[in-house]
Amino acid sequence: MEYTAEMIARLLNGTVEGDPGTKVNTIAKIEEGKPGALSFLSNLKYEQYIYTTGSSVVLVRNEFRPAREVRATLIRVDDPYQSVARLLQIYEAARPAPKGIHPAAVIDETASVGEDVYLGAYVVVSANAVIGSGSSIYPHTYVGDGVKVGKNCTLHAGVKVYSDCVIGDNCILHAGAVIGADGFGFAPVADSNFMKIPQIGNVVIEDNVEIGANTCIDRATMGSTVIQCGVKLDNLVQVGHNVVIGENTVIAAQSGIAGSTKIGRNCMIGGQVGFAGHLSIADGCKIGAQSGIMSTVSQENAVMLGYPAIDSKQFLKSFVYFRKLPDMSSKLDALAKSVGSLKDR
């Protein structure tokens, strides 16, 4: 599809600076721009590229003032990053969505499938499962006994949803996600062996949640593991049994949450963060990548780094000394030798 700068500005409530008739038909990173492409400048560390980009149109902030001439047509908006996200949503919505039920799909006679649903090849919908209207389930996805999938959901290829789990409306589960596998529950017995504890709970995913590829959310031992409204989980996240993740919290890739930990609302968790079990994390916390959370965080909006994680400002101060430890150790050894020499005298 082709749009003019003027059309895009109207969609985004922006202002054109340059030729409003400039046409674009694709989107590109500003450093890789080419004629006919739309780019955006949100982070000023990329400002150098706006003077050399080949893109025809660039989205910039209203307050942006170029240091020299810009060849591209500019569209000034409040937030370029949000604006390009809106454009991508429009583009995605314009793409034809698959519909219908593939002949190779297997649907149990007791299952309920809503209207306007897509079921791809080798999808399995088990006994008493419910698929809401407008949902799309891609090939090789398994929907277990008694599972409920809400309206307008997308389950990409190879998703596995174990029995009795619940998925709300408008959720997206990316390829290979596993919902409701057994929690890691074993009781030590004699001779250093372990007895498996049956995991008889389920997973409840509320509305507007997105789950990344190959992310695993374990079913509860009893009760439910709960992912509340608006949560976004990146790829390769591990969520243990009976965990609760609060509304609108986002968690980056390779983070792991041990069983029965409760994470508050509106938290931002970096990649490879590890949470010990049975903790509580207050609302609004921000935890930097590769941090280790070993105890409950009661302070709302805390910003933490390190392992074990501490206040980010304290961590950065401590890190200054940490880098100096080899030099300080050498000086301490030299001082010890001097003191020993003085004693000998």
Residue range 3-94 forms a domain whose CATH class is alpha beta
Would you state the pLDDT for residue 341?
A: 81
Question: Looking at residues 187-191, what average pLDDT do you find?
Answer: 87
Query: What is the average pLDDT value for the chain, to the nearest integer?
Result: 94
Given 102, 174, 241, 278, the catalytic residue: 241
- Mean pLDDT calculated for residue range 107-131: 97
pLDDT at 344 over 80: no
Residues 107-311, CATH architecture = 3 Solenoid (2.160)
End-to-end CA distance of the chain: 89
Equal CATH topology for 3-94 and 107-311: no
How confident is the model over 91-100, as a mean pLDDT? 83
Task: Mark whether 278 is an active-site residue.
Answer: no
Instruction: Decide: 218 and 202 in contact? Cβ < 8 Å.
Output: no
Please give, one letter per residue, the 3-state secondary structure of the chain.
Answer: CCEEHHHHHHHHCCEEECCCCCEECEECCHHHCCCCEEEECCCHHHHHHHHCCCCCEEEEECCCCCCCCCCCEEEEECCHHHHHHHHHHHHHHHCCCCCEECCCCEECCCCEECCCCEECCCCEECCCCEECCCCEECCCCEECCCCEECCCCEECCCCEECCCCEECCCCEECCCCEEEECCCCEEECHHHCEEECCCCCEEEECCCCEECCCCEEECCCCCEEEECCCCEECCCCEECCCCEECCCCEECCCCEECCCCEECCCCEECCCCEECCCCEECCCCEECCCCEECCCECCCCCEEECCCCEEHHHHHHHHHHHHHHHHHHHHHHHHHHHHHHHHHC
- Amino acid 268: pLDDT: 98
pLDDT in tens, 78-95: 999 999 999 988 888 777
**Residue 166 pLDDT level (bands cut at 50, 70, 90):** very high
pLDDT at 192: 82
d(CA 124, CA 12): 42
Q: Which is nearest to 231 in space by CA: 203, 202, 258? A: 203
Q: How confident is the model at residue 54 (pLDDT cuts 50, 70, 90)?
A: very high
Q: What is the value of pTM for the model shown? A: 0.85
Work out the pLDDT band at 345, boundaries 50, 70, 90. confident
pLDDT of residue 209: 98
Residue 7 banded pLDDT, cuts 50, 70, 90: very high
Residue tagged 């609004």 (tokens): 284
- The rounded percent of the chain whose pLDDT value lies above 90 is 83
Average pLDDT over residues 144-159: 98
- Ranges of each domain in the chain: 3-94, 107-311
What pairs with residue 244 in β-bridges? 226, 262
The rounded distance, in Å, linking the Cα atoms of 9 and 17 is 10
